[in-house]
A and B are shown apart, each in its own frame.
Chain A
Amino acid sequence: MDYVTKNKVSLSGAEILLESLINHGVDTVFGYPGGQIVNVYDKLPLYEDRLHHILVRHEQGAIHAAQGYARASHRIGAVMVTSGPGATNVVTGIADAMIDSTPVVVVAGQVGTKLLGTDAFQETDFIGLTSPISKWAYQIRRTEDIEWAVSRAFYIAGSGRPGPVVLDFTRDAQVGMAELKGTTCDFIRSYRPIPEPSEESMRIAASMINKAKKPFLVYGHGIILSEAEKELEAFLDKSNIPAGSTLLGLSALSTDNPHYKGMLGMHGNLATNTLTQRCDLLIAVGMRFDDRVTGNVSTYAKNAKIIHIDIDESEIGKIIKTDVGILGDAKHVLSRLTELIDKRESYDWQMEDIMCNAVEKHKVIDPEINPGEGYINPGEVVARVADKTEGKAIVVTDVGQNQMLAARYSRFAQSRSMITSGGLGTMGFGIPAAMGAKVAMPDRQVCLFVGDGGMQMTIQELGTIMQEGIGLKIILLNNNWLGNVRQWQELFYGERYSATRMVNPDYGKIASAYDIDYAFVEKREDLLPAIDKMLSDPTKPFILEVHVKESSLVFPMIAPGRSVDEIMLTSDESFEYGN
């Protein structure tokens, strides 16, 4: 359509929208048509060669796919849905993207401006619904505003602390005519996405780091979002400070990195949680002290001074009192701090994690991943997949035990290799997010770990996988329970298993209905060959169902609201540092 832009011919709003999506680098849009977006769909075939539309089976699938796409690729995910139910169906994903800082742009159809506020067919107050859970929500009422709105949307979604942006696209704007201008946006006067860190605060922080006897660094998603992986590594190499990751920070440091001590929080490693409590200086980078990380806030990192580095001012001091807050981009702040700190070879306290690791290996890890006999454990499946993929796969998870075990027992050789719903904990995230990840990164293996509950929340997307031939690998850890809730019921609710038993369908028949290759494993000796078979062709989808130990529990565990040093090793044994 080049002649159109050159000659400044008027285009319809629908075309302008598609042109602007393409101008902003969109090559894939996940969506679902309907009455108030049909004008845009009508023009879609004109752009077929530049914009690939993936028809999902439910709009929730579209937004989670866009999230997976964005997280795997550092690009901005794009979603297109109709008004009313199409729009409300993406609300969960918008909330999920907001809390996990994922850049996505959602375009939703809307009724004509004359009908707004009249309860017209499929009218819903989408701006009202989404403004508390999005980074920006804007209603496009005039065709001539489309390019302005789209360019702002992409700038806002991707800059600073990323997040979801909503464009409520009225029918009038879609059908009106205007000229294409090629508008871009890199500035909004009310918005400062990247604050300039204060040199003074960085100097104070550096001197605290230089003086600390037992420093510990914790990092989160911010490292990946600011592409600060190398800077983090350089900081740790120079300072020799041990580090732990939040769930969303996983893969920012390779699991082989000598400074990496594991995952933090409720089901994190003994070492990281113990170091948190024993350190005299906690350096937090690009993380927000979620309660799944801190446990009881009043005893969290109780011996430590706190340095908090974040790009979002409202995070600093929100949960934890900080001694020094550094407002800025992790990449920039870490590289400056690395210049400012002294080189240190080692710390006396560096060995403290070794004892924790020995206990964890003996009491938790070995029994989980190398049980030798009996039922297959879910963590064992994760560990075998990690062996076979050598930590090179993109790991996607659903929510529940499958997620915690995938986080604990996966290995990561490179960044952007862990995609999971952290802050919202959205069951059903897994299948569509893995789809999006595979579409974004077709050359990487994408391995999804999902429970039987979460699998069925978005199982309809198998249709999308079939239609598009998306080669993701679905590893269904079937325990016939809503395992994570069952675990709480067993441990904290007197074994009253209310509404957590799940009768499952025959997944083999489902796979065959969708023409997806499938294997079922319940004996240990069949596991490795089945994984090999699954991984043999990275371009083809595969469902590997493993019947895992039904009453399996995820440990270590810090019970909700408990202090980070009250760690359960098993149902009736807790961890005491030094014993």
Chain B
Amino acid sequence: MNLLNMETEELYYEVTVYTENQVGLLSSIAGIFTRRSLNIDKLVVFPSEIPGVHKFSIRTHTTEEKMKQTVLQIEKKVDVIKAFYYEHPNNTQKEYEAVRKFLQGHEK
């Protein structure tokens, strides 16, 4: 996508966020969307395949540029392990691999 499109063209995105099981994370993640005036079109939270790791699945629509920055701000939260966004969902297997890799050797 060229730069101009990144700034103006709105697309649907699927955001997935892997987190610790920590009270209050839902509202602080939702708050990051609100601050950037992004609508949440769909939201599901559930325990992921990885024990102790929760997964948020969020649908939104915005520009790629805003999407990227929003996901970085989500990832910045201390209790967030990793966050991803896709124009086309269905990357679950790849995500699990990435999360497992990130946690590897850090199971203190």
Contacts and interface: CB of A to CB of B under 8 A. Distances in A.
B106 A128 contact: no
B27 interface: yes
A190 interface: yes
B20 interface: yes
Interface in B82-108: 103, 106-108
Interface in A379-398: none
Interface residues of A, number: 20
A102 B37 CA distance: 27
B31 A131 contact: yes
Interface stretch (B8-16, B38-46, B55-63, B68-76): B68-76
B23 interface: yes
B67 to A, nearest CB: 12
Contacts of A127: 23-24
Chain B: interface residue count, which band? Answer: 20 to 34
A36 B78 CA distance: 27
Chain B CB within 10 A, most for which of A187, A188, A189: A189
Interface in A312-333: 312-314, 317-318, 321
**B-side binding surface: helix, strand, loop or mixed?**
helix
B28 A318 contact: no
Given A189-B108, A190-B20, A135 B27 contact: no
Contact of A189 (B35, B73, B75, B103): B103
A312 B76 contact: yes
A188 B103 CA distance: 11
Contacts of B78: 135-136, 156, 188, 190-191
Nearest to A192: B102
A113 B32 CA distance: 28
A318 B79 contact: no
Contacts of B27: 128, 131
A132 B77 CA distance: 10
A225 interface: no
A131 B76 contact: no
Nearest to B107: A189
A139 B75 contact: no
A189 B23 CA distance: 17
Contacts, number: 49
Contacts of B24: 127-128, 131, 137, 139
Contacts of B106: 187, 189
A189 B72 contact: no
Nearest to A313: B72
Nearest to B7: A321
A313 B76 contact: yes
Given A190-B78, A190-B80, A132 B35 contact: yes
A136 B106 CA distance: 21
Given A187-B106, A190-B20, A132 B73 contact: no
Contacts of A317: 68-69
A329 B80 CA distance: 21
Nearest to B82: A190
A207 B76 CA distance: 30
A187 B108 contact: yes
Interface string A119-148: 000000001100110011101000000000
Contacts of B69: 314, 317-318
A131 B24 CA distance: 8
Nearest to A127: B24
B60 to A, nearest CB: 17
A135 B28 CA distance: 11
B108 A314 contact: no
Nearest to B103: A189
Contacts of A128: 24, 27
A314 B19 contact: no
B19 A190 contact: yes
Interface string A166-187: 0000000000000000000001
Contacts of A188: 78
Contacts of B23: 127, 139
B28 A313 contact: no
A321 B6 CA distance: 12
B85 to A, nearest CB: 14
Given A131-B27, A131-B28, A189 B81 contact: yes
Nearest to A186: B108
Interface string A521-542: 0000000000000000000000
A131 B35 CA distance: 13
B76 to A, nearest CB: 5
A321 B69 CA distance: 12
27 contacts: A127-B23, A131-B24, A131-B27, A131-B31, A132-B28, A135-B78, A136-B79, A137-B24, A139-B23, A139-B24, A187-B106, A187-B108, A188-B78, A189-B81, A189-B107, A189-B108, A190-B19, A190-B79, A190-B80, A190-B81, A312-B76, A313-B76, A314-B69, A314-B72, A314-B73, A317-B68, A317-B69
List 3 tightest A-B contacts by C-beta distance, closest first.
Answer: A314-B72, A131-B28, A190-B81
Interface of A: 127-128, 131-132, 135-137, 139, 156, 187-191, 312-314, 317-318, 321
Given A189-B107, A314-B73, A314-B75, 10 more contacts: A131-B27, A132-B28, A132-B31, A136-B78, A187-B106, A189-B103, A191-B79, A312-B76, A313-B72, A318-B69
